[in-house]
Amino acid sequence: MSEESIPLYQKRIQIYPRSVKGRFRTLKTGILSLAYVVYYLLPWVRWERPNAPNQAVLYDLPGRHFYIFDLTIQVQDIFWLAGVLIIFAILLFFVTGIAGRVWCGYFCFQTLWTDLFMMVEQWVQGERPARIRLDKGPWNREKLVKKGGTYGLWLLIAFWTGLTFTMYWVDAPTLVVDVLLGRAPYAAYFTTFFLAATTFVMAGLAREQVCTYMCPYARFQSAMFDHDTLVVSYDERRGEGAQGRTKLGKGLKTREERQARGVGDCIDCGYCVQVCPVGIDIRKGLQYQCISCALCVDACDTIMDNLKWPRGLVLYTSEHALNGEKTRLLKPKTIGYGVILTTATTLLIWSVLTRAPYTGTVEQIRQPLYTQLSDGGIRNNYEIKLNNKLTAPMTVGIRIEGLAGASLNMDGMERIDLDPQERIKLLARVQIPPVGGNGPPGDRVTFIIEPLAGVQAAPIRRQVPFYIPEGGR
Amino acid sequence: MSDNSPNAQQPSSAVQTTGHAWDGDLQEYNNPLPRWWLWSFYATAVFSVLYWFIYPSWPVGNTWIKGFGTVNYTMTDKASGKEEAREHRWNTRALLLEDLGAATNDPQRKDMLAKVQAASYDQIVKDPKMMEFVRSVGKGLFGDNCAACHGRGGQGVVGMYPNLTDDDWLWGGGMDKIHETLVQGRKGFMPAFGAVLKPDQLDDVAEYVLTLSGETQPSEAAERGRAIFQGPVGGCYYCHGADAKGVPSQGAANLTDKIWTIANVPAQKSVQDKKAVIEDFVARGVNNTRIMPAWKDRLSPTDIKLLAVYVHQLGGAR
């Protein structure tokens, strides 16, 4: 219909964030350093474990064991992972309800790696104006060296990030040697290079687009916000005054002069916009792109400090507080999340602390359901599954009780030595002598699986059916 | 950033439409496809061409394009027992064989198999790990080869196929005897006495046989039956033994225990019926009806060894 030519696709507008110093920048750098130290060094920490790998944190998929310091998680305990995920989810809701997108601003991998890549970029190419100039300029030697240097460093970081991730799944020193010598398994290369590629693309190239267009969490957390949630806001009343914001100019130098003329405290320096890693103007209000990194707060505070005006023109505050009302923290929502969070955490810790050192189950073999013996006795067979969860050997004894005249035959495996982390299935035959008469066509027998050596634990009792055919006794 | 999104910049009227109008004013926007979608689409088109060359694809006359893709796997030759590397054109069967060979549990299985091959029967029975392996592999072998007659759990069918889970063995329940049975097969035989014994004599023998396992109390008829059983008229003791406990080398059944392999005595309610099934059986005998095939040419020595241990532990490992 319309004849005017409008481009159907719009190119991304490159963001050149300026660096800033301040409370939140220091906090972010602190969290970033801690996160990187943990992430990159943890696979290298050794942990003395007899009969098991010596890596402090190792997710051994082929061996079906997760080793986390002194905790060994076996396949059947993987439901703890569900517990951890539930706790993380609730923690996220809880914190987001109170303090907004704390996860996005300070802890998210996307934020952390983008931050690191930006630091590298700034270190090689210089501050915001220098980077803009470099991008606009022709492809000369300087541009080639600086751009190439940045990309090279990014690639190195990305590769080491991918490799570190892979280290969590196999022995780290062996892996590094194998990867560098080209003899690591295919899966290791795939994981490493896939993560290297995503790190490079997401943190180096896509950056804020990941948060704006790809991340589902960024979009649905607005549902957790309310009027009491802490968000990064611009104090519009103070900043705009009656006449709006104006740059420092003649007769507009001091607060008193400005207030007398109805001009707000914002001097429209644009620093808060320049430092924003997602390229928004916080003075336009809360926007979905905002990751709550609070760098604009640092920027504005710096300016206010220079002017010797009070801080807090851009600040962490709630909608209620901005309107002069009280911010309420104790609300049904917060309390509800808090209760669920505490309960889930307590349950998980309790479950981990009271984990059994070994497990034993008994199942009746039902094909055939029973066997009639030559002397008229009846035999039932059972499959016993034993699992030593410890990284030390143990000895387990098996006996039965609760069935008159019954005897247990396990070919001498009634007392069995279990290797560290061994899982085994045993056959147990329970036999009763002919008694005569017509008893009920069934009974029960209790297996008692008890530790004899190597571990202190309560015996496991399993009551299972014992089938006796009609008229069998 | 928020102001730069395309929708904020363009009023909706600026978007092209397909030019059609329905119901007077219903129009359709001619929005472009998302770029990522478009490029993925082109990529799949390119991939489909590559696919034709790598994998089996187009039918051509009576055959089809086989593709250049190949799969390498190792296979154990059944006759020689040697492993050989093979290359096969790509298909899912070859892929499965490759996966089986590459899986981590396959080397473990091979190790265990070698261990069982090298071990003696006594060593296997005493080793929990080997017995676990035998039970797991044996279950599959038994299901493939034996269950058709003996049942999935080895419980057999009275009158047809022996129960392998009880402690009564026609041909001997030792591991070596079971092995022998598996290797060379067995052929049960008992002459038919229908023409030799008169009906009342058959009745007496049946009466006697029932007293052997305590089904009935001794009687005059049973005493007459005993004379036939132990004497030259019937001559049953030749095979079943003077104590009637059977002779495993003949495959002759033990008549003194509670287990009935052919005449289904436990299923009969009255003594009369019990006697009837025994008489009927003694009159007809067993000839070419109870045959266990020989497995030495059908199964490998390892499979037979595994099955022998498996069947032995089914029967209570006496």
Residue A423 Cα, gap to closest chain B Cα (Å): 10
Is A36 a domain residue? no
Phi, then psi, of B250 in degrees rounded to 5: -95, -10
A263, A298, A322: which is the final residue of a domain?
A: A322
- Among all residues of chain A, which has the CA nearest to that of B157? A368
Cα distances from A387 to residues A74, A363, A391, in angstroms, run 10, 15, 11
- Report pLDDT for B189: 92
Q: Please report the beta strands in chain B, taking only residues with DSSP state E, as ranges in sequence order.
A: 17-22, 26-29, 59-60, 63-64, 70-76, 83-89, 186-190, 286-292
Is B126 a domain residue? no
A71 and B CB contact within 8 Å: no
Domain holding A403, by residue range, is 358-466
- Which residue has better confidence, A353 or B6? A353
Which amino acid appears at position A289 of this protein?
Q
Is B286 a domain residue? yes
Is A349 a domain residue? no
DSSP state letter for A352:
H
Is A263 a domain residue? yes
CA atoms within 13 A on the CB side of B277: 17
**Same structural domain for residues A313 and A383?**
no
Percent of chain A's residues with pLDDT above 90: 66
- Mean pLDDT computed over A42-65: 90
- Report pLDDT for A1: 43
Is A23 a domain residue? no
Is A22 a domain residue? no
Domain count, chain A: 2
Which CATH number goes with the domain that contains A403? 2.60.40.10
B89 and A CB contact within 8 Å: no
Phi, then psi, of A408 in degrees rounded to 5: -105, 135
- Report pLDDT for B3: 42
Is A219 a domain residue? no
Domain count, chain B: 1
A409 and B CB contact within 8 Å: yes
- Report pLDDT for A249: 85
How many angstroms separate the CA atoms of A127 and A129, rounded? 6
Per-residue pLDDT reduced to its tens digit, A435-465: 665 556 678 999 999 999 888 888 999 999 9
- Which residue has better confidence, B101 or A200? A200
- Among A39-48, A213-222, A385-394, B252-261, the range with the most confident prediction by mean pLDDT is A39-48
Is B159 a domain residue? yes
Is B113 a domain residue? no
> Which residue in B31, B123, B167 has the most chain A C-beta atoms within 10 A of its own C-beta, making it the best mutation to test that interface?
B167
**Same structural domain for residues A310 and A395?**
no
Domain holding B246, by residue range, is 140-314
**Is A367 in Cβ contact with B152 (below 8 Å)?**
yes
A74 and B CB contact within 8 Å: no
How many angstroms separate the CA atoms of B22 and A335, rounded? 54
- Report pLDDT for A327: 83
A168, A174, A177, A181: CA torsion to nearest 10: -100
Alpha-carbon B63 to chain mean position: 36
Is B288 a domain residue? yes
The answer, yes or no, to whether the previous bond of A368 is cis (omega within 30 of 0) is yes
B126 and A CB contact within 8 Å: yes
Name the nearest CA neighbour of A157 among A205, A197, A124, A122: A197
Helix (H) or strand (E) holding A37: helix A23-41
Residue B128 Cα, gap to closest chain A Cα (Å): 7
Residues of chain A contacting B17 with CB distance shorter than 8 Å: 1
Query: What band does A473 get if pLDDT is binned at 50, 70 and 90?
Result: very low
Instruction: Report whether A368 contacts B153 (CB < 8 A).
Output: yes
- Report pLDDT for B316: 66
How many angstroms separate the CA atoms of A103 and A291, rounded? 9
Which CATH number goes with the domain that contains B227? 1.10.760.10
Residue B255 Rama label (left phi>0; alpha psi -120 to 50; beta)? alpha
Name the nearest CA neighbour of B117 among B314, B310, B317, B306: B306
B21 and A CB contact within 8 Å: no
How many angstroms separate the CA atoms of B97 and B103, rounded? 10
Query: What band does A203 get if pLDDT is binned at 50, 70 and 90?
Result: very high
- Among all residues of chain B, which has the CA nearest to that of A434? B258
Instruction: Report whether B309 contacts B317 (CB < 8 A).
Output: no
Round the CA-based radius of gyration of chain A to a whole number and report it. Answer: 33
Query: What band does A243 get if pLDDT is binned at 50, 70 and 90?
Result: confident
By Cβ distance, the residue of B35, B128, B166 closest to A372 is B166
- Report pLDDT for A425: 95
DSSP state letter for B257:
S
Is A460 a domain residue? yes
- Among all residues of chain A, which has the CA nearest to that of B31? A8
Query: What band does A429 get if pLDDT is binned at 50, 70 and 90?
Result: very high
B296 and A CB contact within 8 Å: no
Name the nearest CA neighbour of B313 among A365, A418, A423: A365
**Same structural domain for residues A314 and A363?**
no
Residues of chain A contacting B129 with CB distance shorter than 8 Å: 424
**Same structural domain for residues A308 and A373?**
no
Is B276 a domain residue? yes
A5 and B CB contact within 8 Å: no
- Among all residues of chain B, which has the CA nearest to that of A385? B132
A322, A347, A366: which is the final residue of a domain?
A: A322
Is A318 a domain residue? yes
| Confidence check: pLDDT of A389 > 70 | yes
Query: What band does A221 get if pLDDT is binned at 50, 70 and 90?
Result: confident
B153 and A CB contact within 8 Å: yes
The tens place of each residue's pLDDT in chain B, 318 residues long, gives 344 444 444 445 567 788 888 888 898 888 888 888 999 999 999 999 999 988 888 999 999 888 888 888 887 776 666 778 888 888 888 888 888 777 666 777 888 989 999 999 999 999 999 999 999 999 999 999 999 999 999 999 988 899 999 988 999 889 999 999 999 999 999 999 999 999 999 999 999 999 998 888 889 999 999 999 999 989 999 999 999 999 988 899 999 998 998 888 888 888 899 999 999 999 999 888 889 999 999 998 999 999 999 999 987 656
**Same structural domain for residues A312 and A387?**
no
- Among all residues of chain A, which has the CA nearest to that of B19? A1
